[in-house]
Chains A and B, each alone.
Chain A
Amino acid sequence: MNGRILTYEEKDTWIHRLSGVSKLIFFMAWSITSMMTYDTRVLVVMLILSLVIFKVSRTEWRQISAVFKLITVFMLINLIAIFLFSPNQGTKIYGTETVLYHLFGNYAITTEQLFYEFNIMIKYFTIVPAVLMFLATTNPSEFAASLNRVGVSYNVGYALAIALRYVPDVQDDFHQIKNAQEARGIEMSRKASLMDRIKNVAAIIFPLIFSSMERIDVVSSAMELRGFGKNKKRTWYSGKALQRNDYLVIIGATVFMIVGLVITYYDGNRFYNPFL
């Protein structure tokens, strides 16, 4: 049913054994660095590190091939769109213009534009491995439990745990409703007109949302009956204390972020400019 969707897979590597919290902190530090920097050197290092992470987390290609292809297509379309809308963005950023090939009108391929688009591409790509790694190696219930252990309110941890816990259930509901409605003959493809398509989507979504609203009532009543939220603390089945490796990862990620940002902004500008 959920072939395309990325999920946790149990394995025994040191990345899997890390607490979800340290992986979240790593993920955040990584995201922030990748968002702030436009320094080619930092981005390339991140890309290389990403491949290393893949290797050690023993993530398999079949786990990620579908999403990888999808994101490549998105990226290509995005790069082309950027060129169509603004062929001189690179010149604007780097301040020089080296025309390689003149196309027509205002459109010319410049080294600066190619370099700028190359940077965008790796900037988008650097975040992919961190996401995949986080999702594929983090056990949802352990993650919620560990969040609480490091001081996050257990309400927040629980909301997250419920979200992750119910994705497969809601997905099953969704496919059942969809199959049932399709068996009744609704048309979901491009053959139907736009208004019909919206109506048909409604035929699936209405039952799904209403049954989910009911589920919210049922689950919250059950939790209330068991006294959820009464005490300030609660215990967890799968919580883990932070261990030596966790501290190493947390410190490593923070240091990496600081160093990356210092290198990026050292010359007062987030772009690395090879043209000057």
Chain B
Amino acid sequence: MKKLGIKEVVAIGIGTALFIVLTEVQVPIGIPNTALQPRAALLAFMAAVFGPIVGGAIGLIGHALGDAVFYGSVWWSWVFPEAVLGIIVGVFAKKYAIKEGGFDKKAAVLFNVVQVIGNAVAWILVAPVLDILVYAEPANKVFIQGFFAFLGNIIITAILGTLIAFGYTKIGAKSSSLKKED
């Protein structure tokens, strides 16, 4: 495994703290017990900026600790998928070039394609399968649950995640914030 650099160490730390704090922020959509979770968009964004190791670590530690401090319990079958999502989105970090100021429409499309695939793998595949293996819950229930989680996450990530990436690529990438004068 590649050694962690200072930036990655700090990004995991503060990214995880952000993820935990955002656990509190939920956008209710009218269906009981279902809400859009902005922290999903944050995870996708952090993974897209810092890569798969940081993404996976924030997903794993953030979800486990976030559950623990807010709900007093850890649903492991939903913790691991979060890490899977962070890793999948993070694999293409170089392609999005968010930090370098290169996040354009093409990168945004790629980011969204990857996040949809990542969310599908995480919530329609890994989470329900783990629910069945670990808790022996009924298959139809967990797959429907997973599907709604998938739907909620791709919507919030497509909107918030993409906007954050556009915003950050403009102001965050200081080296390229100067425009060439014509």
Q: Given the complex of chains A and B, what is the CA–CA distance between A70 and B72 in angstroms?
A: 9
In the complex the two chains form, is B17's CB within 8 Å of A71's CB?
Answer: no
Q: Given the complex of chains A and B, what is the CA–CA distance between A223 and B9 in angstroms?
A: 10
What is the interface residue range for chain B against chain A?
Answer: 35 or more
Chain B positions within 8 Å of A70 at CB level: 70-72
In the complex the two chains form, is A162's CB within 8 Å of B138's CB?
Answer: no
Is the CB of B68 closer than 8 A to any CB of chain A? Answer: yes
Q: Given the complex of chains A and B, what is the CA–CA distance between A32 and B82 in angstroms?
A: 19
Is the CB of A111 closer than 8 A to any CB of chain B? Answer: no
Is the CB of A51 closer than 8 A to any CB of chain B? Answer: no
Is the CB of B29 closer than 8 A to any CB of chain A? Answer: yes
Q: Given the complex of chains A and B, what is the CA–CA distance between A6 and B33 in angstroms?
A: 22
Q: Given the complex of chains A and B, what is the CA–CA distance between A74 and B145 in angstroms?
A: 14
Chain B positions within 8 Å of A68 at CB level: 72
Is the CB of A228 closer than 8 A to any CB of chain B? Answer: yes
Chain B positions within 8 Å of A36 at CB level: 134
In the complex the two chains form, is A5's CB within 8 Å of B6's CB?
Answer: no
Query: How many pairs of A and B residues are in contact by the CB < 8 Å rule?
Result: 188
- One of A195-203, A236-244, A247-255 at the interface: A195-203
Interface size counted on chain A using CB atoms at 8 A: 71
Is the CB of B13 closer than 8 A to any CB of chain A? Answer: yes
In the complex the two chains form, is A213's CB within 8 Å of B168's CB?
Answer: yes
Is the CB of B36 closer than 8 A to any CB of chain A? Answer: yes
The 0/1 profile, CB within 8 Å of B marked 1, for residues 131-163 of chain A is 110110000000000000000010110111111
Tell me which residues from 135 to 154 in chain B have a Cβ below 8 Å from any Cβ of chain A.
135-141, 144-145
Chain A positions within 8 Å of B117 at CB level: none
Query: Taking A6-B72, A202-B163, A205-B22 as contacts, is the C-beta distance between A160 and B61 under 8 angstroms?
Result: yes
Chain A positions within 8 Å of B121 at CB level: none
Tell me which residues from 17 to 64 in chain B have a Cβ below 8 Å from any Cβ of chain A.
17-18, 20-22, 24-25, 27-30, 32-33, 36, 38, 41-42, 45, 49, 57, 61-62
B40 → A minimal CB distance (Å): 12
Which chain A residue has the least Cβ–Cβ distance from B11? A216
Is the CB of A229 closer than 8 A to any CB of chain B? Answer: yes
In the complex the two chains form, is A131's CB within 8 Å of B144's CB?
Answer: no
Is the CB of A169 closer than 8 A to any CB of chain B? Answer: yes
Closest 5 CB pairs of A and B: A162-B13, A86-B138, A67-B72, A85-B141, A163-B16
